[in-house]
Structures are given as structure tokens and as C-alpha cells.
């Protein structure tokens, strides 16, 4: 029994310094904090509503509808088409599909460039907001989420940083 008590006291003695030195660690996704702000959402919506973006989206929808119609017609008429006609139809459908993929890639690139610019242009502001939230929350160590392999949701302060940025916008 004495050995159990001694072992328990020894374990407690080693655990106390560790518990006393426990640090409050938080994680923030700087990119998400910026992109989820009201201002960023307004900018993204405005950009997606501009004429060029709408035109590209319209072209993509039109191509998609044409391709669907072509595929339906091909399936319907396949039995009566010659080998050359089948090959021509397939090449035309492949051409339309490639054109659609190119337009889709242009849209994705434009969105990605906008998001990258928003993040790059607002880094200093989000750093300051993250520091402020960390100080308010009593955080000892603040890590960027992109560098963390695992964390509990309770350690993520991204939403609080976004709220802080939204409040600064209103001021």
C-alpha cells in the first residue's frame, strides 16, 4: 500500500509542473477569416455578377445544353448513322466538351485570382484581428491552420477573427 501511495505522490509531483505550464493554444485559418467576412462576400458576389463572369457562365450553360442535346440525338440515331457520321458526331461532342472545360477553367481561375488578391491585400488586417482575438481569449500560442495536422474545433478561433473583422468594417 505504501508503494502505491508513493507512486501516486511521485506521479502527482511530476504532473503538477506540466499542468502549471499548460499553455492555451489556438488555431486560425487566416484565409478563411478573410474570405468569410461580409466585405469579402460582397466583393465576390459583385465580381460574380459582372458582365464578363455572367457571359462566361451563360456560355458554359449553353454549351452544356447543346452537349446534352447532341448526346441524346446521338443515342437516338446511333443505329442508323454510318461509321463516318458516328465519328463526326463524337468529334463534335468532344470539341464542345473541350470548349466547355476551357470556359469552366477560366471561371475557376478568375475566382481563384480574386480570392488570392483578397487574402494578399488584407493580410495585415487579419493578422491584427487574429492577435486581438488571441489576446482577448488569453491565447498563449496562435497557429495558422494550414500548419496544423489535427486540432479540436474548440481550438479554432477563425469565426471569432471573422467577427472581429466584420465589426471593424462597421466602425
Question: Please, are residues 119 and 30 in contact by the beta-carbon 8 Å criterion?
Answer: yes
Tens digit of each residue's pLDDT (9 = 90 or more) over 111-138: 999 999 999 999 999 999 999 999 999 9
Q: Does residue 51 belong to any structural domain of this protein?
A: yes
pLDDT, position 154:
86
Total structural domains within the chain: 1
Tell which residue, 30, 38, 35, 41, has the closest CA to residue 158.
30
Q: Does residue 127 belong to any structural domain of this protein?
A: yes
Q: Does residue 8 belong to any structural domain of this protein?
A: no
Q: Does residue 5 belong to any structural domain of this protein?
A: no
Report the distance separating Cα 67 and Cα 54, nearest Å.
20
Instruction: Check: pTM over 0.85? Answer yes or no.
Output: no
Q: Does residue 18 belong to any structural domain of this protein?
A: no
Q: Which domain holds residue 132?
A: 24-170
Give the range with max mean pLDDT: 2-11, 12-21, 107-116: 107-116
Q: Does residue 71 belong to any structural domain of this protein?
A: yes
Amino acid at each position: 500500500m505504501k508503494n502505491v501511495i508513493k507512486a501516486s505522490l511521485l506521479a502527482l509531483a511530476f504532473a503538477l509542473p506540466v499542468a502549471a505550464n499548460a499553455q492555451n493554444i489556438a488555431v486560425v485559418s487566416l484565409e478563411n477569416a478573410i474570405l468569410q467576412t461580409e466585405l469579402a462576400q460582397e466583393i465576390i458576389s459583385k465580381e460574380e455578377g459582372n458582365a464578363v463572369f455572367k457571359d462566361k457562365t451563360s456560355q458554359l450553360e449553353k454549351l452544356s445544353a447543346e452537349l446534352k442535346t447532341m448526346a441524346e440525338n446521338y443515342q437516338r440515331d446511333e443505329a442508323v448513322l454510318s461509321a463516318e457520321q458516328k465519328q463526326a458526331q463524337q468529334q463534335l461532342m468532344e470539341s464542345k466538351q473541350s470548349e466547355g472545360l476551357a470556359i469552366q477553367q477560366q471561371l475557376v481561375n478568375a475566382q481563384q485570382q480574386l480570392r488570392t488578391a483578397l487574402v494578399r491585400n488584407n493580410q495585415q488586417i487579419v493578422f491584427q484581428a487574429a492577435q486581438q482575438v488571441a489576446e482577448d481569449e488569453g491565447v498563449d500560442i496562435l497557429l495558422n491552420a494550414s500548419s496544423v495536422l489535427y486540432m479540436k474545433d474548440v481550438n479554432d478561433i477563425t469565426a471569432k477573427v471573422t467577427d472581429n473583422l466584420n465589426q471593424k468594417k462597421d466602425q
